[in-house]
A and B are shown apart, each in its own frame.
Chain A
């Protein structure tokens, strides 16, 4: 059994989760303090990938990044970057799909933060950076952790947008979910079943990790 899909799935999910970890936190933090109208617009746009079918997201990404589309063509010409049919195009697709999960859970966490704590820190002379990292973040950590785990789990399961923009090339872009589909389609149920077991194993590990984290949070 060629383990490439496992490795590919993990690196795509890991990288995209790492990317949206920072993007989600920062956009949540800044958007939470925007004026109401701007907040509403940005909120709608950024949450869209959550409610759109992944194939629609994939289609839109292809329109944007395809080698014959303006942005895709420009990137190809200027930097020799091919934005589709590579493993890292799957990272882009996955990031777009999981971003709203991280963004929304973080925003919830930031909005429930008691602002008088930050105000108290300021009057005591603590720098805004210190307040952000040492007071705001620890308070919001359970929410941020939950968002990260949700995003990672969703990233592992990403199929629609990934299959459209990265396709299924064994040894190059194949992930667990695209492999399972491909094997089932070609009547290789036995191998498909083995990949299903692998996927269930990873999901189980994620769930155990979540439970352990929650227990540790409660003890604090």
Chain B
């Protein structure tokens, strides 16, 4: 059971080469725009035809280039929610949802399924409206109802909240989580928003340039994102190149500091989240000059430059709650980089 994907598709200046396995639960594809995450969904849905590969969903082979199997999108029973929902503009909400209802059912049963889906998404009162007359949230509920009524074996959400205003986003996320919780099959979520991914996903795959660079549970990937891109995508803004000095020491060249840190083979960059830096003594302590303070709604970001570092080195951001900085406030300050906050990165 579940989904198994191994596909390759070449374009002139881009190659998609994705391998992944997933079962019930939410797998997020996290990546910058143009990395191939939406394309992966389209390959699974059968809208895009890979050059070679194999896709198996719940034991049914959707694609096998060697055995020349290619199921039409209509035969795949996948639910794909497009970024802008792709509601049919000239059909009412009820007619849109009816398009999803299984054609094998009798018309009375289809009517009933549509009614239930509309009620479940709380849009029964909108059934005779056209998509153009709906708010963003209502459009998304309609799209979701249309997909759920088709009883898909997999739910694929392509940047589901990107078309919504930020205040709506949070509410729709709650509703979406409820839908996902009740859903029997695997869920694929495509997103470039690490907060959204963190809140919604059980597992995370970091995509870069058509490939999955790191896949694991949400906590594994956020604790150890593996690559420079993965590090940035999971929201880490302090990244420096790194060079081995000896078995126990490394030089972070962009920050201009030496750390007591055994590097894993192949590591060529280090990251540290703005929240991971701690004040006061401890391992890897640095005396820093404060070069700037940025005030956020609920926190301060303090920009630091180690005293030992040359003037050309990059500043390091340190974010903390407002009362913390108010108590610490100084021109020069000693901070330490806890061992478990240092992310070792490749490429």
Q: Is A187 an interface residue (CB 8 A)?
A: no
For A104-146 the 0/1 string (1 means CB < 8 A from B) is 0000000000101101111111110000000100110000000
A114's partner among B47, B74, B86, B147 (CB-CB below 8 A) is: B86
Q: Is A220 an interface residue (CB 8 A)?
A: yes
Do residues A121 and B99 form an inter-chain contact, with CB atoms below 8 A?
Answer: yes
B98 and chain A: residue at smallest CB distance: A124
Task: State in angstroms the CA–CA spacing of A114 and B150 once bound together.
Answer: 22
A104 CB, nearest partner CB in chain B, Å: 24
Q: Is B289 an interface residue (CB 8 A)?
A: no
Counted as pairs of residues, one from A and one from B, with CB atoms less than 8 Å apart, the total is 53
Complex interface: stretch among B19-27, B75-83, B174-182, B194-202? B75-83
Do residues B90 and A139 form an inter-chain contact, with CB atoms below 8 A?
Answer: yes
Q: Is B262 an interface residue (CB 8 A)?
A: no
| Known contacts A125-B103, A127-B74; is-contact A120 B86 (Cβ 8 Å) | yes
B86 CB, nearest partner CB in chain A, Å: 4
| Known contacts A119-B45, A119-B47, A120-B80; is-contact A125 B74 (Cβ 8 Å) | yes
Task: State in angstroms the CA–CA spacing of A116 and B74 once bound together.
Answer: 14
Do residues B90 and A123 form an inter-chain contact, with CB atoms below 8 A?
Answer: no
B72's partner among A117, A122, A220 (CB-CB below 8 A) is: A122
A123's partner among B76, B88, B89, B103 (CB-CB below 8 A) is: B76
| Known contacts A125-B74, A135-B88, A138-B90; is-contact A120 B150 (Cβ 8 Å) | no
A124's partner among B42, B89, B90, B99 (CB-CB below 8 A) is: B99
Most chain B CB inside 10 Å of its own CB: which residue of A116, A120, A126 = A120
A122 and chain B: residue at smallest CB distance: B73
- The SS class assigned to the A binding surface is helix
Q: Is B146 an interface residue (CB 8 A)?
A: yes
Task: State in angstroms the CA–CA spacing of A124 and B103 once bound together.
Answer: 10
A135 — which chain B residues lie within 8 A by C-beta? 88
| Known contacts A117-B88, A139-B89, A220-B90; is-contact A123 B99 (Cβ 8 Å) | no
- The SS class assigned to the B binding surface is loop
A127 — which chain B residues lie within 8 A by C-beta? 74
B147 — which chain A residues lie within 8 A by C-beta? 124
**Number of residues on chain A facing chain B (CB within 8 A):** 16
B71 CB, nearest partner CB in chain A, Å: 11
Do residues B47 and A124 form an inter-chain contact, with CB atoms below 8 A?
Answer: no
Q: Is B84 an interface residue (CB 8 A)?
A: yes
Do residues A124 and B72 form an inter-chain contact, with CB atoms below 8 A?
Answer: no
A15 CB, nearest partner CB in chain B, Å: 30
A132 CB, nearest partner CB in chain B, Å: 13
B100 CB, nearest partner CB in chain A, Å: 5
B76 — which chain A residues lie within 8 A by C-beta? 123
For B40-53 the 0/1 string (1 means CB < 8 A from A) is 00100111000000
| Known contacts A124-B99, A124-B146, A139-B89; is-contact A119 B84 (Cβ 8 Å) | no
B104 and chain A: residue at smallest CB distance: A125
B77 — which chain A residues lie within 8 A by C-beta? 125
Q: Is B243 an interface residue (CB 8 A)?
A: no
Do residues A117 and B86 form an inter-chain contact, with CB atoms below 8 A?
Answer: yes
Task: State in angstroms the CA–CA spacing of A121 and B132 once bound together.
Answer: 18
Do residues A122 and B82 form an inter-chain contact, with CB atoms below 8 A?
Answer: no
Do residues B47 and A123 form an inter-chain contact, with CB atoms below 8 A?
Answer: yes
B55 CB, nearest partner CB in chain A, Å: 14
Do residues B46 and A122 form an inter-chain contact, with CB atoms below 8 A?
Answer: yes
B78 — which chain A residues lie within 8 A by C-beta? 123
Do residues B80 and A123 form an inter-chain contact, with CB atoms below 8 A?
Answer: yes
Most chain B CB inside 10 Å of its own CB: which residue of A114, A119, A125, A126 = A125
19 further A-B contacts with Cβ under 8 Å, apart from A116-B82, A123-B45, are A114-B86, A116-B86, A117-B86, A117-B88, A119-B47, A119-B82, A121-B88, A121-B99, A122-B74, A123-B46, A124-B146, A124-B147, A124-B150, A125-B100, A126-B74, A126-B99, A127-B74, A135-B88, A139-B90
Measured CB to CB, the residues of B under 8 A from A are: 42, 45-47, 72-74, 76-80, 82, 84, 86, 88-90, 99-100, 102-103, 146-147, 150
